[in-house]
């Protein structure tokens, strides 16, 4: 029986979610004044950002934990932790660089999924 959510599919979903989060965080400061005109003011609420971060964390840990036994490489895990560290620093430690660190963290998380996906595809055993 094939697993419902394979690691490679989770990595693809994780890359998409992380990139969407990064774009959201990078573009929101520029678009925040026009969101009410489009009926999208809910995107400026903090629960949207927290939801995206939690979704990325859930997908990232699930995907990497399922594929690590196959390829046994720590690089995707290190890159994933670095991405969340960048997001955390942007939110809680370095307010002046928030607009740079948070999108960079999102793209770093997407890179972790990409690296994990490449490692998983290159494995010769299941």
pLDDT mean over 78-102: 90
pLDDT mean over 86-107: 88
To the nearest whole number, what is the mean pLDDT of the chain? Answer: 79
Residue 5 has pLDDT above 90, yes or no: no
Task: Output the pLDDT for position 20.
Answer: 77
Contact 76, 115 (CB under 8 A): yes
Task: Output the pLDDT for position 13.
Answer: 78
Positive or negative, the CA dihedral 31, 35, 40, 46 is positive
Task: Output the pLDDT for position 4.
Answer: 47
């Amino acid at each position: 029986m094939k697993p419902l959510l394979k690691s490679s599919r989770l990595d693809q979903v994780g890359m998409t979610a992380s990139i969407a989060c990064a774009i959201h965080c990078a573009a929101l400061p520029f678009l925040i004044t026009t969101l009410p005109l489009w009926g999208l003011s809910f995107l400026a609420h903090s629960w949207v950002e927290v939801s995206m971060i939690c979704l990325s964390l859930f997908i990232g840990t699930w995907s990497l934990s399922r594929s690590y036994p196959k390829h046994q490489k720590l690089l995707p895990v290190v890159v994933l932790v670095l991405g969340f560290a960048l997001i955390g620093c942007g939110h809680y430690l370095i307010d002046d660089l928030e607009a740079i660190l948070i999108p960079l963290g999102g793209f770093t998380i997407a890179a972790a999924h990409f690296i994990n996906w490449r490692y998983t595809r290159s494995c010769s055993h299941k």
